[in-house]
Amino acid sequence: MTGRTGNGRPGIGRRGAIAGSAAATLLASPLLTRLGNAAMPSSDLLIVNARITTLDRANPQADAVAIRDGRFLAVGREAEVRTAASPDAAVIDAKGRRLIPGLIDSHIHVIRGGLNYNMELRWDGVPTLADAMAMLRAQVARTPAPQWVRVVGGFTEHQFAEKRLPTLEELNAAAPDTPVFILHLYDRALLNGAALRAVGYGKDTPNPPGGEIQRDAAGNPTGLLLALPNAMILYSTLAKGPKLPEEYQVNSTRHFMRELNGLGVTSVIDAGGGFQNYPDDYAIIEKLHADGEMTLRIAYNLFTQKPKEELQDFATWSDKVKPGDGDDRYRLNGAGEMLVYSAADFEDFRVARPEMPPNMETDLEPVVRLLAERRWPWRLHATYDETIGRALDVFEKVNRDIPLQGLNWFFDHAETISDRNIDRIAALGGGIAVQHRMAYQGEYFVERYGAKAAEATPPIAKMMAAGVPVGAGTDATRVASYNPWVSLSWLVTGKTVGGLSLYPMANRLDRETALRLWTEANTWFSNEQGKKGRIEAGQLADAALLSDDYMAVPEDRIPHIRSVLTLLGGAVVHGEGDYDKLAPPLPKPMPDWSPVATVGGYYRDPKTVQRQAAECGCHSGCAVHGHDHAAALGADVPSSDARSFWGVFGCGCWAV
């Protein structure tokens, strides 16, 4: 609800409009003046009647907050906060919901992901293979030639009730003529016959180094591609597909940012990625930044692209730009996560650990020395303790000449790191960014190494006890889902998305500690400590009002939490339900056949829909969408009149 007094319950009218005189007053007030593509208060903004987890140890709980000029002005009891704010401040009633600092993902591939988001069918969170295949068949029917249907990561076969992937026969039956590419983690890809024809793989196509094109008895490709363990075969095959034109990439990136906003994410650190060349593939995000249309804060790392040319890449880049260039919305963070190709240990737990080549140290040292000399922070992908140990040998050698303290360099992943190497990182002033990859691959790890070995993968509690800065992220969009609540659930419960318990209590976190890893702790990894990550006077006003109370909801409901209102610097960048009219409009997904137009992003479970029904002010749900009227009316359907299109199927959302 919105309004000056915070009293009463709003009715939900057509397209979720907020009714009532108090809401009407707010909507007519200066609250919704424009700043770029976000709704920005021109005067102070108050959020009242909230349960606020501030993460400020001096002021841990509050029920109201005032915002001025993009920062928190006052946090505390409502009477105190109202006194601090201007008399004409606009007011949003949180209706007793939990308000948290905006979530920060310290490892995500958001720039690359945004360029492709509108082309991808997401199986993230889908509970059964039957549901997933129904989505696939529907998308095949919508997708025009020569476009592909792509399911590019973010899921695992273990999340499905059937505990398996589709067969190649099932794929070919579902899509005899439309190319289909399904990426499962970084271990395999499934291609139907049409996709094999599109990429030109035949009997004479050789296997690339570290990869396999599976073949039948006659030597013909079956459609299964395997990383053994090098995932380059998967990347390079995906790169053969059609790309979106520039205008569509802009639209796609905006939709991906809004999807993350809907999950409460306000900041990310982009970890670069394969086939993400700088500066060419950064043109879209830089355009959005210049146009004021970014709804995420992005600190980006530069990822080298060519083996044997890594030192030249970083020498060239460091002559042109430096860490910190940019502003609070978009800025350069440093180097990585790929520093040199000879130090990349792929995380496919279905195969044996890859041994790094003898030249790893000689390749890595000049790059690290250059970065240290030019004071560039770096991040390094490292799954296994053996790789981490060899990298630390190099870091310690460089440190003897050029102290690394204060650089905020760190390792990513570190699933099997040893106590000794944790201590070595602490001594050098480094950090560790962890991701919930084990939530998707834990079953494979246990199968290969055993349940006992999996109990500390990674040993987060030991890292924190050693004084090492630890932050959390997703490594989305391919190896895991971008949903931060899946990561938070993994940190708290120690379970995979398939329900396997991995960790004893000693390696699990309480809910507040897990939330800190997703907020204030992550600011160390972008050198922004004290600027954001808490709801505290003076910090950037980034916050999320939650659909369910994270601090109290049953553990099995944590992955289904969403944000109903997300603020970035006090600007509304996302709203649902009572708050949907406060959010800025988003253009329809492009192209019109995009999976985003019909099924959206992360799976919405039926219990969420049931709760919408309980909170909806209409008398009955429609025959098609239940009470999710906003989704129906906001959908980009293949018709010039959404009412007529849905009405044919019995939808009554238009009448609400």
- Listed in sequence order, the residues at least 6 apart from 563 whose beta carbon sits closer than 8 Å to its beta carbon are 261, 262, 263, 264, 544, 545, 546, 547, 574, 576
pLDDT of 24: 36
Residues sharing a CB contact under 8 Å with residue 327, sequence separation 6 or more, in sequence order: none
Q: What is the CA radius of gyration of the chain?
A: 24
Is the separation of the CB atoms in 431 and 525 below 8 Å?
yes
Q: How far apart are CA 197 and CA 214, in angstroms?
A: 15
Q: Is 53 exposed, middle or buried (0-12, 13-18, 19+ CB in 10 A)?
A: buried
Q: Each residue of 271-291: b (16+ CB within 10 Å) or e?
A: bbbbebebeebbebbeebbee
Output the pLDDT for position 623: 44
pTM, two decimals, is 0.88
Task: Report which residue type is found at 128.
Answer: T
* Burial class of residue 39 (count of CB atoms within 10 Å of its CB; 0-12, 13-18, 19+): buried
HEC readout, 135-169: HHHHHHHHCCCCCCEEEECCCCHHHCCCCCCCCHH
The pLDDT value recorded for residue 149 is 98
Burial of residue 408 (number of CB atoms within 10 Å: 0-12, 13-18, 19+): buried
Torsion of CA 182, 352, 125, 246, to 10 degrees: -50
Helix or strand or coil: residue 545? strand
Cα 126 to its chain centre, rounded Å, is: 17
Task: Tokens for 323, please give them.
Answer: 């860490």
Judge contact between 200 and 216, C-beta under 8 A: no
- Look at residue 36 in the predicted model and tell me its pLDDT: 37
* Residue 341 CB neighbour total at 10 angstroms: 18
- CB hemisphere CA count around 643 (13 angstroms): 5
**For the chain, how many residues are written?**
656
The DSSP secondary structure of 154-221, one letter per residue, reads: S--GGGSTT-SPPPHHHHHHH-SSS-EEEEETTTEEEE-HHHHHHHT--TTPPPPTTEEEEE-TTS-E
C-alpha to C-alpha distance for 277 and 316, rounded to whole angstroms: 13
Under DSSP, the state recorded for 326 is: B
468, β-bridge pairs: none
Distance CA(221)–CA(173), nearest Å, equals: 17
Contact call for residues 522 and 474 (beta carbons, < 8 A): no
Type of residue found at 370: L
| pLDDT the model gives residue 230 | 84
CA nearest 548: which of 532, 527, 562? Answer: 562
Q: Classify the C-alpha dihedral 338-342-346-349 as positive or negative.
A: negative
Q: Which residue positions in the chain have pLDDT lower than 50?
A: 1-41, 617, 619, 623-625, 630-631, 633-650, 652, 654-656
Q: What is the pLDDT of residue 11?
A: 30
Q: Strand 180-184: give its sheet, edge to edge.
A: 149-152, 180-184, 188-191, 221-227, 211-215
Note the pLDDT of residue 206: 96
- Please give the Cα distance from 298 to 267 (Å, whole number): 6
Longest dimension (CA), the chain: 80
**CA–CA separation, 343 and 327 (whole Å):** 32
User: Among 205, 78, 176, 184, which Cα is nearest to 123's?
Assistant: 184
Neighbour tally for 263: CB within 10 Å: 22
pLDDT at residue 340 in the model: 97
| CA-wise closest residue to 340 among 321, 318, 312 | 312
- Residue 275: predicted pLDDT: 81
Quote the pLDDT of residue 608: 60
CB of 79 within 8 A of CB of 48? no
- What are the structure tokens assigned to 455, written together? 């109990």
pLDDT at 653: 52
Tell me the angle at which helices 385-401 and 419-428 cross, rounded to the nearest 10 degrees.
30
Non-local (6+) Cβ contacts of 141 within 8 A are none
**What phi and psi, each to the nearest 5 degrees, are found at residue 245?**
-70, 165
- Identify the H or E element spanning 333: strand 330-335
**Residue 62: which H helix or E strand, with range?**
strand 61-62
CA–CA separation, 477 vs 345, rounded Å?
19
Torsion of CA 610, 614, 617, 619, to 10 degrees: 80
Q: Cα–Cα distance between 149 and 264 in angstroms, integer? A: 28
Residue 240 and residue 591: Cα distance in Å, rounded?
A: 19
Q: Exposure string (b/e) for 108-129, b if CB count within 10 Å is 16 or more?
A: bbbbbbbbbbbbbbbbbbbeeb
Residue (of 321, 326, 335, 339) closest to 289 by Cα position = 326
> Which tens digits make up the pLDDT trace of 445-493?
999 999 999 999 999 999 999 999 999 999 999 999 999 999 999 999 9
Q: Indicate the Cα dihedral angle 260, 520, 474, 266, nearest 10°.
A: 10
